[in-house]
Amino acid sequence: MRTVLHIFRKDAVRLWKEIAVTWALLGWLTQMDCWRSGYLPGSQEGWLNLLLPLAWSYLAAVCVLQDAVPGERQFWLALPAGRGTMLGAKALFAAVFIHAPYLISCMAVLAARGFNPLGHVPVLAEKQVVLLAVVTLPALALASLARNAMQFMLAAIALAGGAAMLNGNGLARLPNQGPPLNDLRWTFSAVALALFAAAILRIQYRERRTTCSRGIGLTGIALAGALYLWLPQRSSASLEAVMHPMREDPITVRALVPDTIAHAEFPPRAGVSVSIPVDIAALAPQSAMTYSQLDFEIDGPGIRLRADPGGVGMGKTPSLFAVIGRSEEGSSHLNVMMERGVYASASRGPVILKGHFQVSEMAGWVRHALSEPGRTAVADLGQCGASVTAERLYREGGLRVVCESPETLPRTRVTLTDSVTGRHWEGLMGGSRSFVTYPTLTWLSPVNRSEAYFQLSSRTPNGPGEQWLIPQSTLEHFRLEAETQRVVGTRVVGYELKGIDLSRYVARDRR
C-alpha cells in the first residue's frame, strides 16, 4: 500500500496541470447544468458533454503512460512490489481525480435542482458505473497497450471516428438523453467493451503480453460494434419482456377488410403507403397499450423483402418500412411504406405479411395539478415549472412546461385549460423537439428533462388548422394539469397475415 501511495503522489504532482484542466471543465459543465432553465442544453453545455469525457480519457491515459507497460526498460519493473501495485496506483488516480469529482458534481446538480442527493443513491451509482464502463476502463486499457501518447491519440481518434460512424445520426441529431429504454443494444455493447478492457488491464499488468492484449482489444471492439449494429431489436425487446412480463392472455393479429380508403399517416416522398386494418384480439379498444414494430417481412411468389430497420429519417424514402399502431378511436392499422418499385413487385399477387411487434401495457393515467406559480414538486415527475418564452423573428411566444427528475420520466400528457371558456389544449411531454446544429446529448447530467410546448397567438385563431394555437389572453386565466402513465408490462407478439392483396389497401395522402 505504501508503494501504491508513493506512485499515486508522483503521478498527481506530475499531472497537476492536466488535472486542473479537467476540473475546470467539470466545474463549468456543473454550473451550466445547475442553472439550465429548459430541457434543451446550450451549445457550450452540449459540446462539454463530449469534450469532458475526452479530457478524462486523456488524463487516464497520460497517468498510465507515466509508467508505460510495453517494453523492457521501465524502471518500475524492478520495484520490490506485487504485480497489482502499479495497477492499483493507476486505479486510485482515476478514482480520486475522475470519479470522485464527477460524483461531487452530480450531487451538486441534484441539490441545486431541488433533489436530495442521498435519496437518489442508485442514480449516482449508475452514473459512476456508466462512466467506468465507457470512459475510464477503455482509456486505461488502451493506454496500457501504447508506448507513448502519440500511439494512444492515434488509436483514440480512430475509435472515436468509428463510434461516430456507428451512431450514424450525426452530432446534430443526437437524442436529448441516452438511447431508448427498450433498446438494450447500447447496454450490451458497453458491458462487452468494459469486460474486454478489464481483461486487457489484468493481462498487461500481470504478464505484459502486449501482442495478445491487442488482439483481445480488437476482438472486444469488433464484438461491441457487432452487438450494437446487428443484434436484432427483437432480442432486446424479448429480454425486456422477461424482466417486465405482461399478463398471460393470448394475443393474436388478423387482417380486416377495409370499408373505406384509409389516409397515409406518414406518406414517404415518391413512395406508396399501405394501411391495413387489423384486429388485435385480447386487447380491448379502450385498453392502454402502445405498440413498437420490431421487424417486418413481405413474402410472396418470387419476392421476399425485409423492412428497412432505419425507418424514415433524414428526409430519405425507405425502400420498405412498417409500423403498427392504434388510433385514438381504438382501431389498429399496419402501415407499410415502400418505394414504388417495391410496391410494383409486391402488388402482383397475394402476399404474406409477417413480423413482430412489442406491445406495452400502460397503467391508467394519473392526474397532477401544475398551476402553482414557479417550480412545483409533482409525484412521478419530480420538479415541474411553466414559463412564457419571448417572441422571436417570424414567431410569436409560447408557453413552455418543463419537468425534470433523476428518475426516468414517464409518458406524460399536459393539458392547458382556459378557466373562462373551458376550452383546452393537449401537448405530449417530449412531443416537440427543436433542431439545433450542436450536440444535445446530456448523458453526464444526473437529471432527466422533458418539455411540452404550447404556441401562443396574439389574435384569436379560428381558421382551419389553427386549433393548436392559443390566444395570448388565455394566460390571464388558465390552469395546467399533467397526466402520467407508466409501463407495467411488455410482450413480443408475432403475426402472419396470409393472402393480402396490397392494392386494396393503398392509402391516400392527406395533402
**pLDDT tens digits for 74-112?**
666 666 666 678 889 999 999 999 999 999 999 999 999
Q: Hey, how many other C-beta atoms are within 10 angstroms of the C-beta on 218?
A: 11
pLDDT at 310 over 70: no
Q: What are the DSSP E strand ranges found in 242-331?
A: 252-255, 263-264, 271-281, 289-300, 303-306, 320-326
pLDDT at 183 over 60: no
Predicted model pTM: 0.83
List the beta bridge partners of residue 320.
338
Q: What is the pLDDT of residue 150?
A: 83
Contact partners, residue 401, CB within 8 Å, separation at least 6: 370, 384, 385, 386, 414, 427, 429, 451, 452, 453, 454, 480, 482
Asked if residue 420 lies in contact with residue 467, where contact means CB atoms within 8 angstroms, the answer is no
- With 0-12 / 13-18 / 19 or more C-beta atoms within 10 angstroms meaning exposed / middle / buried, residue 211 is exposed
Asked if residue 335 lies in contact with residue 324, where contact means CB atoms within 8 angstroms, the answer is yes
Give CA–CA dist 142/60, Å, rounded: 10
Q: pLDDT category, 259, cuts 50, 70, 90?
A: low
Q: What is the pLDDT of residue 341?
A: 83
SS3 content of the chain, % helix, strand, coil (to 5): 40, 25, 35
> Which residue do the cell numbers 395522402 mark?
509
Mean pLDDT of 37-62: 91
Please name the helix (run of DSSP H) or strand (run of DSSP E) that holds residue 496, with its range, or none: strand 487-500
Q: Hey, how many other C-beta atoms are within 10 angstroms of the C-beta on 65?
A: 17
Look at strands 487-500 and 448-457 and give their pairing. unpaired
Mean pLDDT of 162-183: 45
Top-confidence residue, 362 or 182:
362
> Mean pLDDT in the chain?
82
Q: Hey, how many other C-beta atoms are within 10 angstroms of the C-beta on 504?
A: 12
| Lowest-confidence segment of 138-147, 233-242, 463-472 by average pLDDT | 463-472
CATH 1.20.1730 fits 252-359+491-509, yes or no: no
Q: Hey, how many other C-beta atoms are within 10 angstroms of the C-beta on 202?
A: 15
Q: What is the pLDDT of residue 29?
A: 96
Four-point Cα dihedral 167, 172, 173, 177, nearest 10: 90
132: DSSP letter: I
**pLDDT tens digits for 448-461?**
999 998 888 877 77
pLDDT at 283 over 80: no
Q: What is the pLDDT of residue 78?
A: 61
Q: What is the pLDDT of residue 313?
A: 40
- With 0-12 / 13-18 / 19 or more C-beta atoms within 10 angstroms meaning exposed / middle / buried, residue 472 is middle
Asked if residue 417 lies in contact with residue 479, where contact means CB atoms within 8 angstroms, the answer is yes
Q: What is the pLDDT of residue 261?
A: 52
Asked if residue 394 lies in contact with residue 455, where contact means CB atoms within 8 angstroms, the answer is no
Give CA–CA dist 354/289, Å, rounded: 21
Q: What is the pLDDT of residue 179?
A: 36
Q: What is the pLDDT of residue 423?
A: 87
Give CA–CA dist 242/232, Å, rounded: 16
